[in-house]
Amino acid sequence: MYSNGKFKVITCLCILAALVVFPVHLFAQESKDTVAHEAGLYYTVQKGDTLWDLSDRFSDSPWLWPELWSENRQITNPHLIYPGERIRIYHGKGIDTFVSKNLGPDGPIKNETVQETHYYYSPINSIGFIRKQPVSPRGIIFKVKDDKDLIGSGDLVYVRQKGNDPLVEGRKYTVYRTLRPVVDDKIKTPVGTQHYLTGVVEIIKKEPGFALGKVVQSYRSIAINDLLMPYTKRSPKIALTESIKGLNGKIISAEEQVNNIGDETIVFIDKGSKDGVTPGQSYSIYYQERDKNAMEKKKNGLLSPVVYGTLLVLHTEQTTSTVLVTRTEQGIQPGATICSPME
């Protein structure tokens, strides 16, 4: 029963995949390669959560909470979990496939090989973004059927229209909430507003003054006053592309607003489409210290940069991007510097 619950988590909720793609030399028109990866679903504890409730929600049975506890050895007392704590719902290993082709303007070519590889990121639809001007919402959830404390898949919600565009029966909408504006701590300038995605609602009935919606997918716990915007399905297959040369920037914040950032964490950077950043590009996370003796002699004093992590671009806005930390050798803090891949 628990294995069915895990399968449901993998296929219906978020899977955090850490995929390492190795260069390959191809001689056929098209070939498929497989690479092993680790997959997992992580959840941020909300007020009132217990392992009993989370086991019932994610594994179809509250009695399986000991197995959930065993996935999280950092929890010393299973009866005490705290809001903001990040716990692992499921962890496992799997295989992803990427396709490589020999491509030319008129089809396959013989003398030159162009490798086309993809990174498959399953929970692509659940990642949020930072935008200077917040999205204009189409609706707001003002009530849930049976007045539940936690709103999830299958629940019925009541939605009130916002703005001039009417909610359309049969159409899906992304549920989100806006968090406080993100400010660049160094220059004290607003970067934009974080849009935190919580799920997908389908409008099933229109009534005078409101609409009835059904939660068809829950990325995180949905709440009263969460907003609706038109749903756009993103492809989980991200074509890996060449990175911009000479780019320098920094990590603004983590999506879950944690200060200690590690592998498989979604973060935001301060570069976007206007800087030439596109999904599928990879960048380095680095630090560069100064030589105090050289500075005293009025020299530059900068030591060689040290790369300690990599990130992959998943989504771009005009001035920011949403990225995945694919590897890090140490904890990352907001404000960490990034650059084009170093040779």
Which position has the token pair 């049969």? Answer: 170
Q: Tell me: the pLDDT tens digits for 41-91? A: 677 888 888 888 887 777 667 777 877 887 787 888 888 888 888 887 754
Range 2-120 has CATH code 3.10.350.10: yes
- Domain parsing of the chain, residue ranges: 2-120, 129-230, 237-339
CATH code for residues 237-339: 2.40.10
- Eight-class DSSP state of 62: G
Q: Is the pLDDT of residue 117 over 90?
A: no
Nearest CA to 9 out of 89, 86, 67, 94 is that of 89
CA distance 334 to 261: 8
Would you say the CATH fold of 237-339 matches that of 129-230? yes
DSSP at 70:
H
Query: For residue 299, what pLDDT is reported?
Result: 59
Range among 75-79, 139-143, 255-259, 285-289 rated most confident: 139-143
Collect all residues with Cβ–Cβ distance below 8 Å to 343 and sequence separation of at least 6. none
Q: Which fold has domain 129-230?
A: Thrombin, subunit H (2.40.10)
Q: Record the pTM.
A: 0.68
Query: What is the percentage of the chain residues whose pLDDT exceeds 70?
Result: 76
DSSP, collapsed to helix, strand or coil, labels residue 69 as helix
pLDDT band, very low/low/confident/very high, at 293 (cuts 50, 70, 90) = low
Selection from 311, 343, 328, 326 nearest residue 245 by Cα: 343
Report whether pLDDT(198) > 90: yes
Q: What is the DSSP code string of 217-256? A: EESS-B-TT-EEEE--PPPSEEE--PPPTT-EEEEEEETT
Minimum mean pLDDT among 20-29, 61-70, 107-116, 292-301: which range?
A: 20-29
Span of 94-103, 206-215, 227-236, 263-272 with lowest mean pLDDT = 94-103
